[in-house]
């Protein structure tokens, strides 16, 4: 089943460094994943956290996305953005969970 990597960029402190990351990152997933959106116009419909940009990438499976993310190639490139980009990165499996099965895990904050 397809999986989706969502990267929500909240701030960038060093434009030159992040541009170096952008120049190198795509080579690590080209031919393996499909970029659905990358820093295109967006609108926050709910919530009030700062968002500078959004990236959405489709992978054939969670396993392939994890192999890429934790793999040596991307981990080397990822170091270029560490400390210069504040972001949230989420990997989510495509699909649908029935309503009756949608409960947060025990101990989840807010439950």
CATH at residue 81: 3.30.70.100
Our count of domains for the chain comes to 1
Does any domain span residue 8? yes
Does any domain span residue 107? no
Average pLDDT (28-40) is 96
- State percent of the chain over pLDDT 70: 98
pTM score, two decimals? 0.86
Does any domain span residue 97? yes
Does any domain span residue 109? no
Does any domain span residue 110? no
Q: How far is CA 1 from CA 28, 55, 67, 74, 106, in A?
A: 21, 20, 15, 22, 26
Does any domain span residue 29? yes
Does any domain span residue 50? yes
| Nearest-angstrom CA–CA distance, 21 and 7 | 14
Domain that holds residue 37: 3-101
**What pLDDT shows up at residue 102?**
84
Mean pLDDT of the chain: 94
Q: Does 75 or 49 have the greater pLDDT score?
A: 75
Confidence of residue 73 (pLDDT cuts 50, 70, 90): very high
């Amino acid at each position: 089943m397809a999986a989706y990597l969502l990267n929500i960029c909240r701030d960038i402190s060093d434009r030159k460094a992040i541009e170096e990351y952008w120049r190198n990152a795509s080579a690590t997933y080209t031919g393996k994943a499909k970029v659905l959106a990358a820093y295109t116009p967006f609108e926050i419909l709910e919530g009030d956290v700062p968002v500078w940009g959004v990236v959405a990438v489709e992978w054939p499976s969670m396993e392939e996305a994890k192999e890429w993310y934790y793999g040596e190639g991307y981990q080397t490139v990822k170091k270029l953005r560490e400390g210069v980009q504040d972001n949230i990165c989420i990997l989510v499996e495509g699909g649908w969970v029935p309503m009756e099965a949608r409960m947060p895990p025990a101990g989840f904050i807010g439950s």
